[in-house]
Structure 1
Amino acid sequence: MELSSLKVMIFGMYVLFWSPAITTATLQRNILAPEWIGKFTDEEQTGVPKHVLAMQDRYFYPVRQMIQKMLISPSRQNRARKNRKTQKAILKSTEFPCDRNGTRSLTRPTSVHQLRPGDIDIIGSVGDSLTVGLGSFSNNIFEILVEHRGVSWTAGGDGTWREYLTLPNILKVFNPKLFGYAYGDSLAEERGSQFNVGENGALSQDLFFMTREVVKRVKNDKRVNLTEHWKLITIMMGSNTFCLQLCYEDNTKLIKIHKDKLYNSIAHIKSNLPRTMVNIVMSPHLELITNFTRKPMFCEFFNIMECPCLFARQYKNRLPEFVKTMYLFQQVEKEIVQMEEFKNTEDFTVTLQTFTEHLVFPLTRFNHTDYSYLSADCFHFSQKGYARAANALWNNIMEPVGRKSTNWIQEFDRFNCPTAESPFIPTWKNSETI
């Protein structure tokens, strides 16, 4: 069989077995009546029926593992670098942008409002393909399928900040003993994923299930001192709901599901993981991706497959309705982080990070979309794009609540640092003094 034919077959198999979440959603809306899913109980409010989880273990995971290994090429990172899809490497002679003096407490703090960057011991993440780091080094459409968790902007720890700017690689500078970050090209079921439980195709309805998984992993890990270690969990969800459900489901219902699942997820973390700070990254407003210019033809085709609600021609007239729903998702997230029940203990807080609220995509000097920040499908990020997102997330984390930036800028153009006057990670409580 010719290599090209083999790749086409591999791609088709992967689309079929993309993930339990997307497969379930597709069956529900396209093939079987809505009553079909009701025959299977939603055990313990996981959001995923047990029979689907069984299929994941028996069929989905082995196929994904096989395809992952077949598509990994040792030279893909070098090719991505030549194609300007990676961040510019930082020389070893260049100092880290922040002064590290005083960035770790002399004694472990007991209040989340007195937490310094170096006090964070454990990091984890919940999300979809963006959390997975999908497409980071893709040079063709087939390599889009490789999961690069080790360079995930929220929870990847491969290398250092000089090669791969990620939130863990930033925090490792302040606390070299940080753990929980993912490494390598690992799937969620593999050891290398650690506390990065992101899944391709994940929807808002899967959020609580995934949160339970990250909590379970942290509690069962022998390295973790549950009552002493400080933990940082980052959550971002919504993109696949916008792409795959807005045009098929009642949007009012989708907003309620997102609110309920997000609330339950935060409450579950608060109840089970003492000494935890939760980052909620605001759901990205995906209208901007519909305005990309000079998009390659094969990207047009794959974008319809990946995000039919925003790209399929038959839904173009409903775009204003979808835009409003995406805005309402963001408003729901703002409401939840303000709830008093998440402010009544000293060892827990949740903060909304807002750089995605009014995101403007970078342009070339000719004022066209800069595709060097995007993977081969013109939809997911390249490693360069993930580095830019990591920089923006870090800046948000270090900005006072109520004064956070709502856009991103080129990586390393601005890098917020703790200072002697403001040494703590900003929370709703300590931001008043910053």
Structure 2
Amino acid sequence: MLHRVMTLDTFTTLCCIMIPVVIVQSNSLVPAWMNRFTDDEMTGVPKHILELQDKHFYPVRRTLQVLLKSSNRRSFAEINQKTQTRVFHSTNFPCTTNSTRSLIRPSSVHQLRPGDIDIIGSIGDSLSVGLGSFSNSIYEVLIESRGVSWTGGGEGTWKQYLTLPNIIKMFNPKLFGYAYGDALAEERGSQFNVAETGALSVDIFFMTKELVKRIKNDKRVNLNDDWKLITIMLGPNTFCLQLCYEDNIKLLKTYKEKLYNSFLYIKNNLPRTMINFVMSINLNVIINFTGKPLSCQIINRGECPCLLTLQYKNKQQDYINVMEQFKMIEKEVTEMEVFRSTEDFVINLQTFTKNIMFPLNKFNKTDLTYLSADCFHLSQKGYARAANALWNNMMQPVGKKSVNWSKELDGFICPTDEWPYIRTWKNSN
């Protein structure tokens, strides 16, 4: 797969930087923490790939994080309107935080208030890493801004960076596990955000095991009593890099198996856990982006050849259909009875990505301020919008969840005395 991508004549200046990222995407992402797995757990992962990762891949990534980072990049992103709308210091949080943590820890996940969540974690790809949050150039897209990840970053406050952890911190200031800074997955600052740039759907089980291991080995964790919230989202890299090179039927079958095994592993190893599973995005949305500059058009063909190159244009509708089948598998697996058999575990399928539409600017073109410099990942403003949508999904009953997103902080659903709990399949009625 690598040689097909890299021979694109459009993939020029960036290729020397992206090679380390792409090199491990042929069949399965191989992050550094995989070196800690036993041989049995690494079935199918070539040992030379692991050695490459250990000796070369991490040092290159760490060096790039340092070299590409500008001290003014966040300020420039704000000037370019790529950060969330400024919230005044005097502005109150949209929700009242009284009575949003139970006096006695609940024993049922269906009676979980936002303030009852003690630990937060995240599994995913570059979107969950926060890649490109403050990018003002193509090169800065490579910086992993994990601390402002919409699913797993807790840097600052909701007024600066609207993320799920920063929202939940308002209900439980003692929340922990969220990432901070520009940490890589191998570094301490990542905490329980084990998302990896370039991760494919099949990598979910590897990352699940790493997350469980980190939580179990953390001395701050009261494994049996603390309530844990884990947000999972994957898919874009599989759609961009595998649909045109792999057997799609096999991809679907493997994904279903990995998804099931990951959920079961969490259920069997992490007592008192709620999973936020964010439905895959049908990347038809990026096919329809308008007003992209030439630099984005060039880079996007290298980032997503299966959907954005002329070579596969005649199969585009087939790939769109496969992406819908991924969603069907996610709904099927998350609703399996085996995951509804205990009171201390639940999977909530969050659907704001189901029919997601991208905002338009005053010229009726795609509003690029919600996108990073490569017009593929999100800007910090885009991630804030996603965090708001995810939170709203959590508070909406099953069957009535939003299937799109809206402007950040324009609509913010709060727990009430009548409905104080995070919604699950059981308490939605």
TM-score by length of 1: 0.92
5+ residue gaps, structure 2, are 1-10, 31-37
Decide whether aligned partners of structure 1 residues 26 and 278 sit closer, same or farther in structure 2, where only a CA change above 3 A counts.
Answer: closer
Of the three residues 167, 170, 173, the one matched with 1:173 is 170
Of the three residues 296, 301, 312, the one matched with 2:298 is 301
Of the three residues 12, 16, 19, the one matched with 1:16 is 19
Q: Does 1:280 align with 2:283?
A: no
Give a deviation string over 1:15-44, Cα, whole Å, max 9, x none.
1111664255699xxxxxxxxxxxxx9732
Matched to 2:51, the amino acid is A
Matched to 2:312, the amino acid is Y
Match of 1:349 in 2: 346
| Distance (Å, rounded) in 1 between the aligned partners of 2:323 and 2:42 | 24
Q: 1:353-372 counterparts in 2 under 5 A?
A: 353-372=350-369
Match of 2:62 in 1: 65
| Distance (Å, rounded) in 2 between the aligned partners of 1:297 and 1:356 | 27
Give a deviation string over 1:155-210, Cα, whole Å, max 9, x none.
00010000100000000000000000000001000000001011111101111001
Match of 1:189 in 2: 186
Decide whether aligned partners of structure 1 residues 47 and 287 sit closer, same or farther in structure 2, where only a CA change above 3 A counts.
Answer: farther
Q: Does 1:227 align with 2:224?
A: yes
Match of 1:237 in 2: 234
Match of 1:76 in 2: 73
How many residue pairs get aligned? The number is 412
Matched to 2:49, the amino acid is V
Q: Does 1:159 align with 2:156?
A: yes
Give a deviation string over 1:235-273, Cα, whole Å, max 9, x none.
101110000000011111111111111111110000000
Q: Does 1:399 align with 2:396?
A: yes
Give a deviation string over 1:274-320, Cα, whole Å, max 9, x none.
00000110000100101111110010110000000001111001011
| Distance (Å, rounded) in 2 between the aligned partners of 1:278 and 1:19 | 29
- Other structure's SS at 2:330 match: helix
Matched to 2:280, the amino acid is S
Match of 1:335 in 2: 332
Matched to 2:107, the amino acid is T
Q: 1:257-268 counterparts in 2 under 5 A?
A: 257-268=254-265
- Other structure's SS at 1:173 match: coil
| Distance (Å, rounded) in 1 between the aligned partners of 2:28 and 2:41 | 19
Of the three residues 95, 105, 108, the one matched with 2:105 is 108
Give a deviation string over 1:407-426, Cα, whole Å, max 9, x none.
00011111011000001111
Q: Does 1:389 align with 2:392?
A: no
TM-score by length of 2: 0.93
| Distance (Å, rounded) in 1 between the aligned partners of 2:13 and 2:27 | 21
* Percent pairwise identity: 63
Match of 2:376 in 1: 379
5+ residue gaps, structure 1, are 1-7, 28-40
- Other structure's SS at 2:402 match: coil
Give a deviation string over 1:338-364, Cα, whole Å, max 9, x none.
100000111100010000000000001
Of the three residues 76, 80, 89, the one matched with 1:92 is 89
| Distance (Å, rounded) in 2 between the aligned partners of 1:260 and 1:83 | 43
Relative to structure 2, which stretch is displaced further, 41-50 or 179-188?
41-50
Of the three residues 126, 138, 144, the one matched with 2:141 is 144
- Other structure's SS at 2:365 match: coil
Match of 2:123 in 1: 126
| Distance (Å, rounded) in 2 between the aligned partners of 1:314 and 1:19 | 20
Q: Is the 8 A contact 1:391 1:412 kept in 2?
A: yes
| Distance (Å, rounded) in 2 between the aligned partners of 1:349 and 1:382 | 31
- Other structure's SS at 2:170 match: helix
Shift of 1:374: 0.2
- Other structure's SS at 1:235 match: strand
Q: Is the 8 A contact 2:29 2:199 kept in 1?
A: no
Decide whether aligned partners of structure 1 residues 15 and 227 sit closer, same or farther in structure 2, where only a CA change above 3 A counts.
Answer: same
Q: Is the 8 A contact 1:19 1:60 kept in 2?
A: no
Q: Is the 8 A contact 2:146 2:182 kept in 1?
A: yes
| Distance (Å, rounded) in 2 between the aligned partners of 1:197 and 1:248 | 27
Say what the alpha-carbon RMSD is for the aligned residues. 1.8
Q: Is the 8 A contact 1:17 1:23 kept in 2?
A: no
Report the structure, 1 or 2, having the larger helix content: 1
Q: Is the 8 A contact 1:42 1:48 kept in 2?
A: no
Match of 1:322 in 2: 319
Matched to 1:346, the amino acid is E
Of the three residues 247, 250, 257, the one matched with 2:247 is 250
Q: Is the 8 A contact 1:24 1:52 kept in 2?
A: no
